[in-house]
Amino acid sequence: MMMDAMRQKRTGRPPHVVVVGGGFGGLSAVRELARAGARVTIVDHNPYTTFQPLLYQVATAAMAAGDVTYPLRAFAAKYPTVRVHPAGLGKLLLDQKQVQLTDGAVLDYDYLVMGTGVSTNWLSIEGAEKNALPLYSVRDAKALRQRLQTCLEETAMGKRPTTHVVVVGGGATGVEIAGSMAELRMRTIPLTYPEIRPEQTSITLVERFDYVLAPYKPHLRDAAARDLREREVRLRLGATVASVEPDAVVLSDGTRLHSDVTVWALGVTAPKEIADCGLPQGKGGRVVVTERLNLSEHPEVFVVGDLALPPEPLPQLAQPAIQMGRHAGRQIVAAATGRPTVPFHYRDPGIMAIVGRFAAVVQLPNGFTFRGLPAWLAWIFLHVAYLLGGRNRTSVLVNFFWRYFGPRRSRASVAE
């Protein structure tokens, strides 16, 4: 019935929807559209979708890249009206309802969903883009892992005196990567690199606020900071970065933190190609949309996920993207069937961050909070539930529990 209702009077065919971006928002929109019978083309420069919340696990070699990715064609195969076009976004011709792609192809659309996500914002800090490593894609995670492994090998062989890591940014990404690297330093490096002395490695987290995890309640922030310090992470709170050098992070007060590996977990902005598409942009280059998540001058164009800037800004997390994508898909179905569209309302499920083994914090929308082992288990199972593909879920669960419960030798036992 819905598929018949979606057929256009002019062509007798369901409307064609182009979804640019195969992330949380884009694929959530695709599900709604495909179930209604719309013809959908997914456009992404990668042939896979990435589960970004687990990229830090790839960066620290706890998981393989394949554990946090899923082929877009395997996803599309579940829906007979969905196709995949692997290419980057070139240009939008909004008046002609066309998308030009980097491979030269031009796609006509009846409706368009933009969900490209965002990219790293270097905040115009001198040397940051050149000398720091971001963590926003599988490619970033692999590069960070390779850099870390190279430094450790060189330190073990005496070619490099130290492997000091500085993480810039005390949000969830910064806390999670710092905690994961700290446990790598305390639990794994003594086993795999017994030649490296403890003082030759360190993890430092730099945050401009006087606390980490700014969106959380003060007692959860303090708990996360304690958990990091227990893992011997050096916290430089209330500190801003002035520049990043090849071997150091320089703070605004002149302090120079030696860094063999600098991780940039601070700030995001819209991709450069968005500026060339004629879309209305606001803070951080994000696209300004109506309360219905579409453009005021082109209501057939919807923007979802981190790229969207609605009247009431939302946190740049997975859940808002998922809900926005679902809403955009439903509004396109409504518009195509002659029904009115409705505003988007975010249902806040809460926020959570993991610090390390048995350490996490959870804050629910009703004000209830919890931490420690229950929060750690909740974080693991909730994130695994959102992974695409049964193989990915099984692999991630096995890797998680093997990493934290499998055989390990502590630094003390190795020293003995």
Which residue, of 292, 317, 337, is where some domain finishes? 337
Please report whether residue 105 resides in a domain.
yes
User: Which CATH number goes with the domain that contains 185?
Assistant: 3.50.50.60
Residue 409 — very low, low, confident or very high, per pLDDT cuts 50/70/90? Answer: very low
Tell whether 213 and 290 lie within a shared domain.
Answer: no
Please report the pLDDT score of residue 95 as a whole number: 95
Please report whether residue 294 resides in a domain.
yes
Q: Which range marks the domain in which residue 58 is found?
A: 13-118+270-337
Please report whether residue 382 resides in a domain.
no
Q: Is 89 in a helix, a strand, or coil?
A: strand
pTM for this model (two decimals) = 0.89
DSSP state of 123: T
- Chain-centroid distance of CA 34 in Å reads 25
Residue 400 — very low, low, confident or very high, per pLDDT cuts 50/70/90? Answer: low
Please report the pLDDT score of residue 4 as a whole number: 55
Which residue, of 267, 292, 320, is where some domain finishes? 267
- Rounded (5°) CA angle 25-121-234: 105
Tell whether 133 and 243 lie within a shared domain.
Answer: yes
Please report the pLDDT score of residue 410 as a whole number: 41
Residue 258, pLDDT > 90, answer: yes
Query: Looking at this protein, which amino acid is placed at residue 344?
Result: F
Tell whether 66 and 165 lie within a shared domain.
Answer: no
Tell whether 113 and 198 lie within a shared domain.
Answer: no
Tell whether 103 and 144 lie within a shared domain.
Answer: no
- Rounded to an integer, what distance in angstroms lies between the CA atom of residue 165 and that of residue 168? 10
Please report the pLDDT score of residue 392 as a whole number: 64
Segment 339-348 long-range contacts (CB within 8 Å, at least 24 positions apart)? 341/292, 341/294, 341/299, 342/292, 343/291, 343/292, 344/291, 344/292, 344/293, 344/310, 346/312, 346/314, 346/320, 347/323, 348/319
Please report the pLDDT score of residue 416 as a whole number: 33
Question: What are the residues whose beta carbons fall under 8 Å from the beta carbon of 100, sequence distance 6 or more?
Answer: 90, 91, 92, 93, 106
Question: What are the residues whose beta carbons fall under 8 Å from the beta carbon of 177, sequence distance 6 or more?
Answer: 56, 59, 60, 135, 167, 263, 265
Tell whether 230 and 331 lie within a shared domain.
Answer: no
The CA-to-CA distance between both ends of the chain, in Å, stands at 72
Which residue, of 243, 267, 291, is where some domain finishes? 267
Q: Is 143 left (phi over 0), alpha (psi -120 to 50) or beta?
A: alpha
Q: Is 113 in a helix, a strand, or coil?
A: strand
Residue 414, pLDDT > 60, answer: no
Please report whether residue 346 resides in a domain.
no
Tally the domains of the chain.
Answer: 2
- Average pLDDT in the chain: 90
- Rounded to an integer, what distance in angstroms lies between the CA atom of residue 343 and that of residue 328? 10
Residue 347, pLDDT > 90, answer: yes
- Give the pair of three-digit tokens for residue 169: 């940014």
- Rounded to an integer, what distance in angstroms lies between the CA atom of residue 44 and that of residue 175? 29
Tell whether 174 and 111 lie within a shared domain.
Answer: no
- Rounded to an integer, what distance in angstroms lies between the CA atom of residue 84 and that of residue 68? 19
Please report the pLDDT score of residue 11 as a whole number: 56
Tell whether 126 and 253 lie within a shared domain.
Answer: yes
Tell whether 166 and 261 lie within a shared domain.
Answer: yes
Please say whether the beta carbons of 37 and 3 come within 8 A.
yes
Please report whether residue 358 resides in a domain.
no
Query: Of 2 and 310, which is predicted with more confidence?
Result: 310
Tell whether 164 and 79 lie within a shared domain.
Answer: no
Residue 189, pLDDT > 70, answer: yes
Sheet holding 248-251, edge to edge: 241-245, 248-251, 256-258
- 7-54 pLDDT per residue, tens: 654 556 789 999 999 999 999 999 999 999 999 999 999 999 998 888
Residue 374, pLDDT > 60, answer: yes
Least confident of 82-86, 208-212, 395-399: 395-399
Please report whether residue 373 resides in a domain.
no
Helix (H) or strand (E) holding 202: strand 201-207
Please report whether residue 259 resides in a domain.
yes
Q: Is 127 left (phi over 0), alpha (psi -120 to 50) or beta?
A: left
Please report whether residue 177 resides in a domain.
yes
Segment 114-131 mean pLDDT = 94
Tell whether 140 and 253 lie within a shared domain.
Answer: yes
> Which residue shows structure tokens 């899923």?
70
Residue 303 — very low, low, confident or very high, per pLDDT cuts 50/70/90? Answer: very high
The CA-atom distances, in angstroms, between 36 and each of 1, 336, 337 are: 9, 10, 10
- Rounded to an integer, what distance in angstroms lies between the CA atom of residue 297 and that of residue 302? 11
Please report the pLDDT score of residue 171 as a whole number: 94
> Which residue shows structure tokens 């004629």?
278
Residue 388, pLDDT > 70, answer: no
Residue 408, pLDDT > 60, answer: no
- Give the pair of three-digit tokens for residue 69: 């990715």
Tell whether 77 and 196 lie within a shared domain.
Answer: no
